[in-house]
Amino acid sequence: VDLPADFSAAADQPASAAEALTARIATAPRPDVAALAALIEHLGLAPVRLLAWGETSQLALRLTVQRPDLVRRLAVIGPLPACDVLPGRTGLAVLGTLATPLLILQGDDEALDIAHSAALTRTVPDGRLAVLPGPSYLLPAAKPDLVGLILLEFFEEDSPLGRSAVH
**Top-confidence residue, 29 or 32:** 32
Per-residue buried b or exposed e for 144-159, using 16+ beta carbons within 10 Å of the residue's own CB? eeebeebbeebbbeee
- Backbone torsion region of residue 120, taken as left when φ is above 0, otherwise alpha when ψ lies between -120 and 50, otherwise beta: alpha
- Laid out side by side, the sheet with 102-107 consists of 48-53, 71-77, 102-107, 127-132
Q: Which of 24-28, 78-82, 163-167 has the lowest mean pLDDT?
A: 163-167
**Top-confidence residue, 110 or 156:** 156
Question: Closest Cα partner for 117 from 142, 143, 136?
Answer: 136
Number of residues that this document lists for the chain: 167
pLDDT of 112: 66
Question: 3-state secondary structure string, 39-83?
Answer: HHHHHCCCCEEEEEECCHHHHHHHHHHHCHHHEEEEEEECCCCHH
What's the longest Cα–Cα distance across the chain? 45
DSSP 3-state assignment of 129?
A: strand
- With pLDDT > 90 as the criterion, what percentage of the chain qualifies? 37
Q: Which of 69-78, 110-119, 139-148 has the lowest mean pLDDT?
A: 110-119
pLDDT digits (tens, 9 = 90+) for 51-79: 998 878 888 988 999 999 999 999 999 87
Domains belonging to the chain, first-starting first, are 1-46 (no CATH), 50-165 (3.40.50.1820)
**Top-confidence residue, 75 or 118:** 75
The verdict on whether omega for the bond into residue 47 sits within 30 degrees of 0, i.e. cis, is: yes
Give the whole-angstrom CA distance, residue 54 versus residue 164: 31
